[in-house]
Every structure is written in structure tokens, then in C-alpha cells.
Structure 1
Amino acid sequence: MTDLSQAIHRALLTGDARGKVMATRALVRDWRRGVLPTGFSARMPDHPEWPERLVVLPPGKMPKRGKAGSERNRIALWHSLAHIEFVAIDLALDIVGRFGAGMGDDFVADFLGVAAEEAMHFALIERHLVAMGADYGDLPVHAGLWLSAQETAHDAGARLAIVPMVLEARGLDVTPATLERVVSQGDLRGAKILQRILDDEIRHVAAGARHFEFYCRTHGKEPKNHWKMLVNRHFKGTLTPPFNDSARLAAGLSRDLYESVV
């Protein structure tokens, strides 16, 4: 019988974007119903499959979006958001398949829930792109998010410290300004999508922070010091203000934590 890790492995190696969304939703639904048993027999791939037509460039080679407020700029923004959410599906699936055996049932349930919500986010943004006359894959993307997954593939604590508690937390900082810009452009449907994503991402970051605390307790680590060490070791960027302190606090990230590495 297929187990959870095998279903995750297949979803990760599904390159078609809509196929990955459907595979993710199906495996989460089946696991919740008890049809898909928890098991970790499959090894996770080093890199997930992405759509064949997707042009992946180094982060420094990405083209500029164009004049602010232009149609080209608007499409580039939503295409970038679509890619972030698409890779977020892979990140949530991979953290379950790679570390679920050692982190417990609550960890599995939380991050399968994250995967389902990231799939929903991508589907909402993709439909919005189509309504604008564009498709996911029309513009180049970069693999920076997945590089962080590869950097932390050896350790659940490092993965939690970097992906939910740094990268997704950064989304809490920048999304409100993006939402305001979208509203100013009269894109109320897009604003609703971004508000839904912001609300969900607070819970995603909170799950990361909660399970990082658990990881530290079970490994005899002091959370704040261990998080700072992991960020300095594995995060290639810099943490710079402004921070969305209220959203971060709602997600369980105190200001003294992240200011310790600014």
C-alpha cells in the first residue's frame, strides 16, 4: 500500500503546476481521512519537478519588472507571487516527507495543512494571472527559495529556522505594502487574495516557530541562541527592517528574537 512519503514523493516529482496542486490536495485529503497511512519509506528528491516551460535564472539575473503601475509590472508582480506559492507547496511537502518521521504526528498534520493552503494560494493567484491575460511560466523565475531547502536538507531544526521563521516571516513584512499597492490600483480581487494569504501565513510561521521550540527542547538547545546560530550559518541574505511586528508576534516571533540577528 502507498504510504504518505510515497505520495509526497510523487507530488514533488509532478512538474505540471495544476497537477501538483491536485496531487497535493488529494494526498492531504486522503491522509486526513485515514485512507493514506503515515509512513516514511520513500526518500525525498533533491529537487522537485517544475513546469518544463519555466525559465529558471540566477537571482541576480532576473529582469526588472518595468515601470511602476504598468500592466507589465502588475503581471510581473503576480507572476512572482505565483512562483513563491508554487515553491511553497514543494517546501511544505518536503519538510513532511524529509523530517516527519522524527518530528511526530502534530508536525505532519501542521505542515500537510500548510501544503494544502499553499496549493490553494497558488491556484488563486494562477486564476488571477489568467484573468490578466497571462500564465504561470510566461516570465522567468529564480530558485532562491529552493536553494534554502537544499541548504537545510540535513536538519529539521535548520529547515524550520530558515524557511518558516525567516523566509515566510519576511512575507509577513512585505505583504501589507503589496496589498496597499494592489488596492491603489483598483484590484480588489487581488487584494482579497493577498489578505487571505497574509492571514494564512501567520499560522504557517506560527507552526514553524512552535515546532522549532519542540525541536530545541528535544535536542537540548536554547531556542533563541540556536536559532541565531542557524540563521548565521545557513541564511545567505540579511534580515533588515521594517518588520511587521504585530504579525510576527501573532506568529510567535518576539522582536528580541529577530533583532538579535539584524
Structure 2
Amino acid sequence: MISVFEAIRGALLTGDPRDKVMATRRLVRQWRKGDLGFAPNAEMPDRPAWPAELELLPPNRMPKRGRGGSLRGQIALWHSLAHIEFVAIDLALDMAGRFGAEMGEEFVGDFLAVAADEAMHFALIDRKLRQLGSHYAALPAHDGLWEAAMETRHDVAARLAVVPMVLEARGLDVTPGTLERIRAQGDENGAKILERILDDEIRHVRTGASHFARFCAKAGLEPKNHWKMLVQEHFRGALKPPFNDSARLAAGLSRDYYSPVV
């Protein structure tokens, strides 16, 4: 019987976007059916495979998107969202594969569920891009999300603190404004996609926050203080308001987590 860790590694090393989505869905189905073992017999790659034609640029060299209502602006926006969701598949897979042996089967199952959601989000956005006459990897993208993964690859608490509880939580702050702009342009289909993503991301952040709290409880650490220490040590950016306090609270992040760090 193949192990879940081998299956995760295989999905991480799948570069074609549609094939990665299918590989992720397949391994999640196999895990839920009990068809995968739990032997930690496969190391996770330092980098996942991405489309060969995808140009990666530093964040400060990314081209401006243009006006949001123009076709060029719409394509740039949806391409940036596609990249976020594509990398999010790998972030969730890597979380399960890299730290699953240490954290246990429930942890693996929870983050494989996140990976399945991210694969669905990417598929929805990829379809949207193609309807606009473009596709993922047609434009440059930046590597900041995976840089955060590499920064925290040796510490599950740091990974939980930075990826779900900072980077994904930031999506809770910015997505409502993007959703309103898209709806104001008359794009109800796009608005529905973002509504679905926002609902799911609340659950994803809550998954990360819950496992972080469990880790701290086992280690005898106070979660909020340990989170602040890890963010200051491992997150290179700044936590910038405004914050979507209600969505963050629903995700398990009360304001006393992040307000003193601002």
C-alpha cells in the first residue's frame, strides 16, 4: 500500500496545473477511503513543481494590473488570484506531508481537506481566466508565498503561525473589498467565486489556529504570546490594518492576537 506521504510528494512534484488539481483530488479521496498508509517514507521537496512557463518575479518588480474594469485589468486580477490558490494547494499539501508524521493523522486529514478546497478554488478561477481569453502562467507571478513556506520548513508551529494565521488571514481582510469591486462591475459569477473562497478560507484559518493552539497546549506555551514571537521571527512583512475582525474572530483569531503586533 502506498503511503499518504508518497502520494503527497507525487502531487507536489506535479507541475501541470490541471494535473496537480486531479492528483490532489485523487489522493484526498484515497485518504478518506483508507487506501493510503501512514508510513512516513517520503521527504517533501524544497520546491513543488509549477508550470515551466510561469515567470517568477520579486514582488517589487510585478507589473501594475491596470484599470480593474478593463479586460487587461480583469485578467491580471484573476491571474493573481489563480496564483494564490495554486500555491495554496502546495502549501496545504506540504503542511500535511512535511509535518504529518509529527502531528498525527487528524492533522494530515485536516490539511488534505484544505488542499482539496484550494484545488477547487483554483479550478474555478482557471475556468474564469479561460473565459476571459487567458490562462494561468500567461502572466508573471511572485514567489512570496513559497518563500514563507521555506522560512518555516523546520518548525510546524512557525508554519502554522505564518501561513494560515497570517497569510491566509490576510485574505479574510482583502477579499470582501475585491468582491465588492467585482460585483460593482456587474460580474456576479466572479463575485460568487469569491464568496465561496471567503467562506472556505475562514475554515482554513480556523484549522490552522486550532492546530496551533493544540501544539501550544501540549508544549505548555501560551498561544497568543508564542504566535507573536514566531511572527516577529519568521514573517518578513508587516501586519497592516484594516482587519476583518468578524471573519478573523470566526476563524479563531481574536483581536488580542494581532492588534499588539501592528
- With normalisation by structure 2, the TM-score equals 0.99
1:252 is aligned to 252
Shift of 1:69: 1.7
Query: Superposed, which structure 2 residues align to 1:139-154 within 5 Å?
Result: 139-154=139-154
Looking at structure 1, the residues matched to 78 and 95 of structure 2 have their Cα atoms a distance apart, in angstroms, of: 26
Q: Distance in 2 between matches of 1:94 and 1:21?
A: 15
Counterpart secondary structure, 1:165: helix
Query: Any residues of structure 2 matched to 1:1-262 within 5 Å, and which?
Result: 1-262=1-262
Contact 1:31 1:38 in 2 (8 A): no
1:5–1:41 contact (8 Å) kept in structure 2: yes
CA contact (8 A) 1:85 1:121 kept: yes
The whole-number CA distance in structure 2 between the counterparts of 1:162 and 1:253 is 13
Alignment gaps of 5+ in structure 2: none
Range with greater deviation from structure 2 (221-230 or 103-112):
103-112
CA RMSD of aligned residues (A): 0.7
Code of the residue aligned with 1:131 in structure 2: it is Q
Instruction: Give SS of 2:210's match.
Output: helix
* SS of the residue 1:215 aligns to: helix
Q: Which amino acid aligns with 1:27?
A: L
CA distance in 2, matches of 1:199, 1:38: 30
2: CA distance, partners of 1:126 / 1:245: 30
Q: Is the 8 A contact 1:12 1:49 kept in 2?
A: yes
TM-score, structure 1 normalization = 0.99
SS at match of 2:213: helix
How high is the sequence identity, in percent, across the aligned residues? 68
Residue segments in structure 1 that go unaligned for 5+ positions in a row: none
Does the Cα contact within 8 Å between 1:209 and 1:253 map onto a contact in 2? yes
